[in-house]
Structure 1
Amino acid sequence: MNRREFTAAILAGSAALPFGITRAVGQTRGGTLNTIIQPEPPVLVTALNQQQPTLTLGGKIYESLLKYGPDLKPMPGMAKSWEISPDGLTYTFKLFEGITFHDGKPMTSEDVVFSCMQVLTQTHPRARNNFARVASAEAPDPLTVVFKLKQPFAPFLGCFDCTSAPILPKHVYEGTDFRKNPMNDKAIGTGPFKLKEWVRGSHVHLVRHDGYYLKDQPYLDEIIYRVIPDAASRALALENGTVQLVQWSDIEFFDVTRFKKQANLEYTTNGYEYFAPHQWLEMNNRIAPMNDKRFRQAVMHLIDRDALNKRVYFGNAKIATGPISSKTRFYDGNVKKYEYSLDKAKALLDEMGLKPGANGKRAEIKYVVPPYGEVYQRAGEFFRQSFSRVGIDLVLVGTDMAGWAEKVGNWDYEMTQNLLYQLGDPALGVSRTYISTNIKKGILFSNTQGYSNPEVDRLFEEAAVALDEKKRQELYTKVQQILVEDVPVAWTLELEYPIFYDKSLKNVVTTAIGSHETFGVVHKS
C-alpha cells in the first residue's frame, strides 16, 4: 500500500465528515477546520493527562484564568482583571460574566477554587506544586477568586494557562474519583468548542459552543482532529489540502524544508515561547547502572548531540547545555561541558567497574521508545548506535501512548526519551523534574527518574520565593551547576517545532502557547 492509498484508507472511515474550510458566501464566521492529532490522546481531560496531543486538542475545550503573549506577559483568559496585594501574598481575580460549561451550567469562582485546590493538586504534576504554595483559596462571590499564598511566589501569575490550570465543573467531579469519573469521556469544559464525538482511531469532532461568553466567538463552526498514524500520509494530507493545519511533530523534521517552499502555506516557529520544549534521555536513577552518576556522565559524553540534531532533527534544534533552556529566564550556559568523547565515556564506565565482558558487552538496557512519531524511532536508533560504541546494548521497546505514560509515570522503565515544557520560569517548568518532593508514583512529567539532592531542593525553593531578580539568578546558576555535575537526565536538544497552516487561515498563532490555544479567534479570510 503506497502513502496515497494509506491516506485514502484512513479517511474513508470518516467520509461523511467535511474536508477543507467551508463557509457560506457573505458570512462573517463559519466553516470547518481539518487538522491532525497524532498520536491519538488517551483522554481529552487536560487536568488528567498532560501529554502534548491531549493539551493541543484539550485547549479548545478547557480554559483557565489567563493567557500569555509572546513576551510571556499575562493577558485576560476567563479572568478579565486581577490584582496583587503590596506584600505579594494575595491575588484577586475577577471573572467575565456569563461563562458557562458545555452542559449549560454556569462556571463560577467555586469551580476555579475546586479545580485548583482539589483536582489539580492530585492529578497535575506541575499544578500540584504551584497550588501547594496557596494558604487559602476563596470564592467570596460568583465572579471573584482570591488566592492567599503562604509566602511570596514570584511566578504565580504564570500558573494559569489552559494547560497548567484547566478549570473543571465542580458539579460533575466533586466527591468522585477524578480519574475514573464516567463523565471524563464527555470532556465538559468552558472553551469555545465542545466535544461532539470521538471515534477512536479515526477522529475527534469539536463543534461551536454556542453559549460561549466572548462576543462572536468562536468564528469556526467546527474543528475535526484526524488521527493519521503514518508520517507520509500526514505529509500528503497537508500537501493536498485535506488538512489545513499541522503542529508539533505532525510533520517530520525531514519534511520541514519541503513544506516551507509550498506556496499556499504559512510557516512559523512562533507559538512555543511559553513551552520552550526541552528534550533529554531519561534514566531511572533507582536502577543500576543508572544509579551511578559516572554512568550518567558517560552518557553525556557518548552522545554526539550535534550529529543528533543534524541527522535526526535536520537542524531544527539547538544543543541543550543543562536543565534550563537558553530561551527561558535565568539560563546560565557557564556550566560543565560534556563534549562528544567516546574515550571519556569509556574511562568513566571503567572507573565505576562497568567493564566489557568476554563478548565486549558492558550492559544491556531497555529503552522505551516514545510513541510520538517517526522521529522518536529514529532518535532511538541513533541512541542505540551511540551506546553500542562503548559496549552497551540498548534494546528498543515499542509501546503505545497510554502504555508509555503508564510505564514512565509508574517508574517501570530503565531508559526513555522525554520532552518537557519550561513554562516561562524555572519555578514552573524546570524544578518539578528535579525536586524530591515531586517524586510521586503514577504522575507523569514529575520527578519520574527519582533524583534526590537536598541542596538542589533548597536552591529551587529559595529561588522560587525570592523576589529580587539578581538573587534568583544567583540561585538558579548554582542549581544548574550542581545538576550538570549530577546529570539526573542527559539533556540533548532545545527543539524548534514548526507550525504550517493554509494562508487563508487567520489568527492561528496569537499567544505564547500557539496551537494549544482555544482557537476562538481563528477564521478564514
Structure 2
Amino acid sequence: MEVAPHLVLNRRGLLVGAASLGLVSLLEGCGGRPGGNGNRLVIGLETEPTALTTAITSAGAVQFVSSKIFDGLVGYTANLTPVPRLAMGWETAPDNLSLTLRLRPDVKWHDGRPFTSADVSYSLLEVWKKFHSRGRSTFANVIAVDTPDAHTAILRLSRPAPYILSALASNESQVIPRHVYQGQDVLGNPANNAPIGTGPFRFVEWQRGQYIVLDRNPDYWDAGKPHLDGIIFRLIGDSASQAAALETGELQFCTGVASGDVDRVVRSAGIRDQTRDYALQTASLGLEFNLDLPKLRDVRLRRAIAHAIDGEFVLRNVLYGRGEIATGPLPSNLGRFYTDDVPRYPFDPGKAEALLDEAGLHRGPGGVRLAFILDAQPTGDQSTRLAQYIRAALEPIGIKVQLRSQDFAAYVKRAYTDRDFEVLLGGGQMGPDPVIGTQRFYWSKGIAKGVAFSNASHYSSAEADRLLETAATESDEAERRALYAQFQRVVQADLPRIPLISYYQVLLARDQLSALSNSAEGIYGNFADLKLAPA
C-alpha cells in the first residue's frame, strides 16, 4: 500500500517529516518517549483497515484491530475446540436443527448499554448473512434466531450446519450493538469506524494514515483484565521501517517484517520470533481470473499458467521456507478435509507452451501471446514478491503481465464492487472449516457486488455448488470428508483460481511483551492476557 511520506521510518528508525510530530506528542502523552509508553502496547500495522468491525468484512487488518474491541461469542484452543467467551455455554439439539447459546449476564457495551440476545439476533440476521463474505455461506441455513430472554439466543436451522460453532470467534463474527445500527445504513454507519464493542479495549481515536488508539475497558466482564492500559496501532507500511522501529524499541510487536529479514532482526538483543501456525490466521494466496472476460475463459490458459510457476523457487525465495506450496484450494493444516489427490500442475514450461498453442494463443510481435493486468492484494511482503515472480515466470512462455498497485481500500473496491480487474493475486483464510473460509471463493451463490473476498472470478459450476452445499449440511464426518475431496478435484480441474501458497504471518515481539496465548487465534485474539514488563 502507499504510505504517506511523513509516516515512513528510515532504516535508523527515526520518524521523518514535520507531520509526524503529532504522533510523537501522542506517544509522549501516553507515558514518555516513543517506544516508552508505560503500560501501552505499540504495534506496527502494515495495512490500514477499511473499517473497525468484521461484522461487515473479513479483511485481515480489520480483524487484527477490531478483535481487541469486540469479544467473540466463543474462543478457540490451539486445536480449534470452542471455549466460552460472550457465550458461557451452548447446546445442539438432537436433530441438529437448532443451536442454543447461553450468554453472559454481566456484559456491557462500551457505551454502558447491556449486551443481550437481541444484539446477537440482529447481527446474525441483518448483518452477517447479508454483508459478510463468509457469513453469507456460514449462516445460509439459519432461518431465525429466537430470543426467549435477554441471555438466550436460539439459532433455528433449515438444515444441519455442523460448522457454525467454528465461526463464532471475534475475528469472524462480531456481534454489534443493535441500538446503534437498527434502522440505519449498515455499511455507512459511523460506528464502523468508531466502534462500540464489548471487548477488553475501547476505541479512542483513528488518525487515518497514522495511528489507531485503544484504551483499557475498565468495565470488562473478565475481572482483572486486560493487563495493558491500552494499545496503539501505528501504520508503518514499509517492512524495513517496521524492522527498524522494532529494533529501536519504538514498537513492541509487529507483523510486517519481511520473511527474508527475520533471522537478522531476531539476532538483535531483546527481540524474539513468535511466528507459528496459528490455525485462524494462516493465509493463502492464489491467482483469481475474471471469467467474465473472454480472453481468460479457456481453462487451457489457466492450466498453462499453473505449469509455468515453479513452486520450489517460490518456497525458497518468496516464503523463505515459512509456509507451503498449495496443492489445491484447502491448505494442508485443514487436515480433516485436505486431500492431495487432485489434478496437479508441476513446473513444466514446455507443457505450458504446448497448452497455449493448443488454445490458439500463438506468439505475436515481440513473442507475446497474451497480456493481462495483475492486481496484487496489498497486504505484505509475500504478495508483492510473489507478484513480481509471476511476472518474471510468465514472460518466457509469452504472457506479458503488467503489475498494478493501489492501497487496500482501492484494491477491494476495484475487485469486488467495480469488477475493474483482469487477474487478482488475492486470498485470505481458508479455514477453520471449508464452509467458513473456502466456499466463498467458489460458490456461485456467493457472487455479490460489494461483498469483499467472495467469488471474484464469477465461477459457476453446478457440480461444485452441489458438493459444497451437500458437505455443508452433512453430519457424518467421513461423508463430509469424501464430499470435500471430490470438490477439491472438481475445482482443481476447472481452475477458476490457481492456489499458490499458504503462509504463516511473521510475528516478532520485544522480550518485554508476554507471549501470545496458546490458542488458534494468534493476532486475532483479544490481547486481554498480554502483559508488558518495564522497558
Match status 1:317 vs 2:326: no
RMSD (CA atoms):
1.9
CA distance in 2, matches of 1:221, 1:425: 35
In 1, Cα distance between equivalents of 2:281 and 2:356: 35
Cα shift at 1:233: 1.1
Q: Does 1:396 align with 2:406?
A: no
In 2, distance between residues paired with 1:240 and 1:443? 40
Q: Residue 431 and residue 198 in structure 1: after superposition, are their counterparts in 2 closer, same or farther (change >3 A)? A: same
Contact 1:62 1:162 in 2 (8 A): yes
Q: Which amino acid aligns with 2:378?
A: P
- How far is 1:11 from its partner? 5.0
- Map 1:199-348 → 2, pairs under 5 A: 199-247=207-255, 250-270=256-276, 272-328=278-334, 329-348=336-355
Counterpart position of 1:149: 157
Distance 1:502 1:3 in 2: 18
Deviation at 1:103, TM superposition (A): 1.3
Name the SS of the counterpart of 2:237 in structure 1. coil
Say whether 1:73 aligns with 2:73.
no
Counterpart in the other structure of 2:35: none
Please tell me whether the aligned partners of residues 19 and 242 of structure 1 are also in contact (alpha carbons under 8 angstroms): no
Question: Is the Cα contact below 8 Å between 2:278 and 2:521 reproduced in 1?
Answer: yes
Q: 2:416 aligns with which of 391, 409, 421?
A: 409
> Residues 340 and 18 from structure 1, CA distance in 2 versus in 1: closer, same or farther, beyond 3 angstroms?
same
Q: Which residue of 2 aligns with 1:95?
A: 103
Matched AA of 2:26: L
Q: Does 1:358 align with 2:349?
A: no
Q: Report the secondary structure of 1:242's partner residue.
A: coil
1:18 aligned to which of 21, 27, 33: 27
Q: 1:195 aligns with which of 180, 194, 203?
A: 203
Q: Aligned pair count?
A: 517
2:440 alignment counterpart: 432
Name the residue aligned to 2:11: 3
In structure 2, C-alpha distance between the alignment counterparts of 1:137 and 1:129, rounded to whole Å: 17
Gap change, CA 1:312 and 1:13, over 3 Å in 2:
farther
- Offset at 1:151? 1.4
Residues 311-320 or 66-75, more deviating? 311-320
Structure 1 contact 81–93 (Cα < 8 Å) conserved: yes
- Structure 1 stretch displaced more, 259-268 or 184-193: 259-268
Q: Work out the CA distance in 1 between the residues paired with 2:380 and 2:56.
A: 22
Aligned to 2:467: 459
1:369/1:416 contact within 8 Å kept: yes
Q: Does 1:490 align with 2:498?
A: yes
d(CA) in 1 for partners of 2:374, 2:112: 46
- Distance apart, 1:38 and its partner CA: 1.4
Partner of 1:132: 140
Instruction: Name structure 2 gaps, 5 residues minimum.
Output: 1-8, 33-37
Q: Match for residue 473 of structure 1?
A: 481
The CA deviation at 1:390 is 1.0
Structure 2 counterpart of 1:384: 391
How far off is 1:31 after superposition? 1.0
Q: Distance in 2 between matches of 1:373 and 1:420?
A: 12
Aligned partners of 2:129 and 2:140 also within 8 Å: yes
Of 418, 427, 441 in structure 1, the residue corresponding to residue 449 of structure 2 is 441
Deviation, 1:454, is 0.4
The one-letter code sitting in structure 2 at the alignment partner of 1:231 is S
Contact 2:46 2:238 in 1 (8 A): no
Is this contact kept in 1: 2:309–2:393, CA < 8 A?
A: yes
Label 1:264 to 1:302 Cα distance change in 2 as closer, same or farther (>3 A).
Answer: same
After TM superposition, the structure 1 = structure 2 runs for residues 496-511 of structure 1, keeping only pairs within 5 Å, are: 496-511=504-519
1:372 alignment partner, SS class: coil
Could you tell me which residue of structure 1 aligns to residue 4 of structure 2? none
Q: TM-score, normalised by structure 1?
A: 0.95
Report the residue type matching 1:305 in the other structure.
G
CA drift of 1:464 comes to: 1.3
Structure 1 pair 283/244, CA: closer, same or farther in 2 (3 Å)? same
Say whether residues 1:422 and 2:457 are aligned partners: no
Shift of 1:48: 2.3
Equivalent residue in structure 1 for 2:126, among 95, 115, 118? 118
CA distance in 2, matches of 1:122, 1:382: 37
- Structure 1 Cα separation of the partners of residues 515 and 89 of structure 2: 23
Q: 1:296 deviation in Å?
A: 0.9
Identity %: 33
| Alpha-carbon distance change, 422 to 360 in structure 1, aligned in 2, over 3 angstroms | same
CA contact (8 A) 1:19 1:243 kept: no
Question: C-alpha offsets along residues 220-258 of structure 1, whole Å, 9 cap, x if unaligned?
Answer: 1110000112221111011111111112xx111111222
Residue identity matched to 1:370: Q
Instruction: Indicate how the Cα distance of structure 1 residues 202 and 340 shifts in structure 2: closer, same or farther if over 3 A, else same.
Output: same
Q: Distance in 1 between matches of 2:425 and 2:247?
A: 30
State how far apart, in whole Å, the 2-side matches of 1:386 and 1:354 are: 17
For 2:180, give the aligned amino acid.
Answer: V
Name the stretch that deviates more: 410-419 or 8-17: 8-17
Contact 1:84 1:90 (C-alpha < 8 Å) held by counterparts:
yes
The 8 Å contact of residues 289 and 457 in structure 2, kept in 1 or not, is answered as: yes
Q: Counterpart of 1:255 in 2: which secondary structure? A: helix
Are the structure 2 counterparts of residues 429 and 311 from structure 1 closer, same or farther at C-alpha, using a change threshold of 3 Å? same
Deviates more, 1:78-87 or 1:264-273: 264-273
Distance in 2 (alpha carbons) for counterparts of 1:451 and 1:440 = 12
* Counterpart code for 2:379: Y
Specify the code of the residue in structure 2 equivalent to 1:387: L
User: SS where residue 15 of structure 2 aligns?
Assistant: helix
The code of the aligned residue for 2:279 comes to E
Q: Structure 2: how far apart are the matches of 1:307 and 1:120? A: 39
Between the aligned partners of 1:19 and 1:453, the Cα distance in structure 2 is 57
Whether contact under 8 Å (1:303, 1:340) holds in the other structure is yes
Tell me which residue corresponds to 1:26: none
Displacement of 1:293: 1.0
Tell me by how many angstroms 1:263 deviates: 4.2
Change in CA separation of 1:354 and 1:119 when aligned onto 2, cut-off 3 Å: same
Aligned to 1:212, what secondary structure does the other structure show? coil
For the residue of structure 2 that corresponds to 1:33, the secondary structure is strand
Which residue identity lines up with residue 370 of structure 2 in the other structure? Answer: A
**How far has the Cα of 1:47 moved from its partner?**
1.6
Q: Which ranges of structure 1 fall in alignment gaps of 5 or more residues?
A: 24-29
